[in-house]
Chains A and B, each alone.
Chain A
Amino acid sequence: KNEVEQSPQNLTAQEGEFITINCSYSVGISALHWLQQHPGGGIVSLFMLSSGKKKHGRLIATINIQEKHSSLHITASHPRDSAVYICAVRSVQGAQKLVFGQGTRLTINP
């Protein structure tokens, strides 16, 4: 079993829909990251969370430390949101290394 599990692996939705991507982890963490990767592109950090909730534009990220679970929400989704979204956790054990989930491939159709 992977230390970081994401669901769903693939998600297709229509423009305007509310999107939720889930991440569960099994290790102690100091922080959780949500990353975005466009096809053939680089990796962009969207959020770093250690508790609670963060919002940036149409993106919202939440984390429940007790349940070891995080969600990434996209409101009013748009085709330009189509990308792979990656959950990654920073272990409590040193060096700020990340352990990555497999990613969720999101496709938003116009």
Chain B
Amino acid sequence: NAGVTQTPKFRILKIGQSMTLQCAQDMNHNYMYWYRQDPGMGLKLIYYSVGAGITDKGEVPNGYNVSRSTTEDFPLRLELAAPSQTSVYFCASSDNYGYTFGSGTRLTVV
């Protein structure tokens, strides 16, 4: 089915470890996003991309990096994981007709 695929669904990291959250979409959307959702809070934008090779910071970019080498893929890299990065992460893509979200990655940093 067409959509946004995120992996992994769950992950536990130790403080200081690094990992990459994968995101892929097959709808040929130019716009892609990474959001985080903390309990009781609205989603916050981490990074976004308006097309291959173009990325920009959102509201809460510290501690994260992204790349967009192809239209389909938009991985999110966590370097030196911290407990404050415990959250649920959602990747999304959009066009003029709407938004599609991935199923989320629940990350715990201990």
Inter-chain residue pair count (beta carbon < 8 A): 51
Q: Is the pair A95, B99 in contact by a Cβ cutoff of 8 Å?
A: no
Closest chain-A Cβ to B35's Cβ sits at a distance in Å of 8
Instruction: Please indicate the chain A residues that have their CB under 8 angstroms from the CB of B101 in the complex.
Output: 35, 42-45
Q: Is the interface of A mostly helix, strand, loop or mixed?
A: strand
Closest chain-B Cβ to A39's Cβ sits at a distance in Å of 12
Instruction: Please indicate the chain B residues that have their CB under 8 angstroms from the CB of A86 in the complex.
Output: 42-43
Q: Is the pair B41, A97 in contact by a Cβ cutoff of 8 Å?
A: no
Q: Is the interface of B mostly helix, strand, loop or mixed?
A: strand
- Inter-chain CA distance A22–B98, complex, in Å, is 21
Closest chain-A Cβ to B103's Cβ sits at a distance in Å of 4
> Chain A, 66-110, contact with B by CB distance < 8 Å: what is the 0/1 string?
000000000000000000001010000001111011110000000
Q: Please give the number of chain B residues whose Cβ is less than 8 angstroms from any Cβ of chain A in the complex.
A: 23
Q: Is the pair A95, B42 in contact by a Cβ cutoff of 8 Å?
A: no
Once A48-B98, A95-B31 are accepted as A-B contacts, the answer to whether A101 and B42 lie under 8 Å apart by CB is yes
Q: Please give the number of chain A residues whose Cβ is less than 8 angstroms from any Cβ of chain B in the complex.
A: 20
Q: Which residue of A has the minimal Cβ distance to B49?
A: A95
Closest chain-B Cβ to A43's Cβ sits at a distance in Å of 4
Instruction: Please indicate the chain A residues that have their CB under 8 angstroms from the CB of B97 in the complex.
Output: 48
Instruction: Please indicate the chain A residues that have their CB under 8 angstroms from the CB of B99 in the complex.
Output: 33, 35, 45, 48, 96, 98
6 closest cross-chain pairs (CB), A and B: A100-B42, A42-B103, A43-B101, A100-B43, A48-B98, A96-B94
Q: Told that A100-B43, A103-B42 touch, could you supply 13 new A-B pairs with CB distance under 8 A?
A: A35-B99, A42-B102, A42-B104, A43-B104, A45-B98, A48-B97, A48-B98, A86-B42, A95-B31, A96-B31, A96-B99, A98-B45, A100-B44
